[in-house]
Amino acid sequence: MQQTAMFTGIIPPVSTIFTAEGQLDKQGTAALIDDMIAAGVDGLFFLGSGGEFSQLNAEERKAIARFAIEHVDRRVPVLIGTGGTNARETVELSQHAQQAGADGIVVINPYYWKVSEQNLVGYFQQVADSVTLPVMLYNFPALTGQDLTPALVKTLVDSRQNIVGIKDTIDSVAHLRSMIQTVKAAHPHFTVLCGYDDHLFNTLLLGGDGAISASGNFAPQISVKLLEAFRDGDLALAAHYHQTLLQIPQIYQLDTPFVNVIKEAIVLCGRAVSTHVLPPASPLDEAGKARLKSILQQLKLC
């Protein structure tokens, strides 16, 4: 059993850039990747919610995974999202990620059906057993309709050595605290990363490890500097950056799903990329763009 945490720090969930025809925009995605690495991120997570995995078929997901792994070229660790509603496809995508050279996979719990705890444990164990890669769990109950409780997560970590962490995308300090106290206390190597920008500081103060949050696409420097200040023991400076992160989530209310908002923010913050999104998402309307620009200007991000 490893004794140190893997995949710590700031690991942005990378937006997949598409052409107007809905194909992978390799040039745009590559430029975004390079920007985030230059900003000092600790890793990159592809094919999460912001990567529009749920709007892609299996072959498209494989192609994006291959491109991302090849372009990053070991500069930072690469995590590939492989979860979905179909356990067989999740195993297939997980094994593909391993063959393509990923450093780890991120697996959301199946959605649509609510799954019994016994079946949920079996699902994650099946996926973990299908690869030798480290497995990060992905908890997003607002979208899946089902919470991965700290007790359930501990059961999984107790049972499989390659289940090494969780992206806990939940707007609850209590949930993050319990995850750290229940799972990380028993397994110090277990990584707890928050999924919301405004919980990074809380997560670090509680003993967690960092964040996988959307602002890393358009303002990675804020989270990177907050983490650096925290590690240096400068809590006043960390709190300064926290004040900005506290305001960022209001932009995610501008549309649902908000993948279009993230891409528009990337453009407003200085990187010219295609803002095309896959249906059922649609382009952000002009009122939304104006409100987004106003918020980013207030936060001095553009």
Residues labelled as active-site residues: 49, 112, 138, 167
β-strand pairing of 44-46 with 78-81: parallel
β-strand pairing of 191-194 with 163-168: parallel
Which of 262, 268, 253 lies closest to 283 in space, CA to CA?
262
Question: Are the C-beta atoms of 136 and 79 separated by less than 8 Å?
Answer: yes
Would you state the structure tokens that stand for residue 262, as one six-digit string? Answer: 């993230």
> Whole-angstrom Cα distance, residue 202 to residue 273?
32
- Residue 27, CB-side half-sphere exposure with 13 Å CA sphere: 4
> Whole-angstrom Cα distance, residue 36 to residue 216?
7
